Amino acid sequence: MIIEVDLSGIIPVELQGLSPLAFEPLLHDIAEAARDKWIRVAGEDLHTSRRDYLESIQAVEFKKGVATIALVGRLANIIEEGMAEVDLRDTLLGPNVRISPEGEYGKHLTIRPTGEVGYYRAIPFRHGTPGTGGAVGAEMGSQYKDVVEDAGQLGRDVYGEAKKLKATVSDPYKGTKWGGRLTASDMEKLGVPKLKPHHAVPIFQGMVRERKTYEKARQTQYMTFRTISTLVPTGWIRPATEGRHYAKKVSEYVRQMAPAALENYVKGMGT
């Protein structure tokens, strides 16, 4: 998705003989305002995918009297334009995904005792901590708002137990050293039910407290992992979603504000 800002269509006839460079400062101002508007509109509306989407809005590029703002990345463009219903087995375990040994990135071969052959892989889910508003993954407990009486308290209870876990340490140079996990007994103690009937276990079971080490910082996040398999036909259907179409709103904003901005700019030129 790309938004283009081009002032040539609204420049008065009597000023069209001027060099395009004469209007370049105005083009810069309008394009940067459009990008700010895009970030603001999406940031106020999105929750769990906010950070991924906003990071996909690129800096303004200027070329020959036209400014462009690009939205890059598959996830951001799915949010923007929508997507038809998808069986995630076709994408996460499809023919374009490489087959790899267990523990490495990709899908893994499995053969049942009956001789049936299939593929599987573990998919990570990041859980936001209570009070974060779901900015970096669904906030713990929010998934159960229609299932239990007090989903907020459930999330706080799960977080309280997860904080006690021995850390799983991820280091880009040394690999991963696994720590503790929330168990079935923890789920029973905390009163965490299965979220949906076809789930094998509650969604917080198996949660780890992952600590990533970077050159100048450490980051703690809470993760669970769920297995998707071509041999299990239930679940993992991504429902169709409507696009948010923020770019259309931004383009309309530019269309409405550009003429007045141009008029004020021309007055400032003393023309």
**Over its length of 271 residues, how does the chain's per-residue pLDDT go in tens digits?**
899 888 877 776 667 667 667 778 888 999 999 999 999 999 999 987 888 899 999 999 998 888 999 999 988 999 999 999 999 999 999 999 999 998 788 999 999 999 999 999 999 999 999 988 766 778 999 999 999 999 999 999 999 999 999 999 877 667 788 899 999 999 999 999 999 887 889 999 999 999 887 766 778 899 999 999 999 888 888 889 899 999 999 999 999 998 888 888 877 776 5
pTM over 0.75: no
**pLDDT attached to residue 84:** 92
Count of other CB atoms within 10 angstroms of residue 256: 9
Residue 215: per-residue pLDDT? 65
pLDDT at position 19: 65
C-alpha 43/C-alpha 188 separation (Å) is 37
Q: What pLDDT score was predicted for residue 172?
A: 67
Domain assignments of the chain as residue spans, ordered by start: 2-81+241-269, 85-237
State in Å, rounded, how far the first CA of the chain is from the last one.
37
What pLDDT score was predicted for residue 13? 65
What contacts 196, CB < 8 A, 6 or more positions away?
235
Q: What are the b/e assignments for 111-137, b being 16+ CB within 10 Å?
A: eeeeeeebbbbeeeeebbbbeeebebb
Edge-to-edge strands, sheet with 117-127:
108-111, 117-127, 218-229, 208-213, 168-171, 175-177
Q: What dihedral do alpha carbons 156, 158, 164, 168 form, nearest 10°?
A: -120
- Residue 234: predicted pLDDT: 84
- Long-range (24+ apart) CB contacts under 8 A made by 95-104 are 97/121
Rounded to whole angstroms, the Cα distance separating 137 from 125 reads 8
For residues 237 and 91, the answer to whether their CB atoms sit within 8 Å is: no
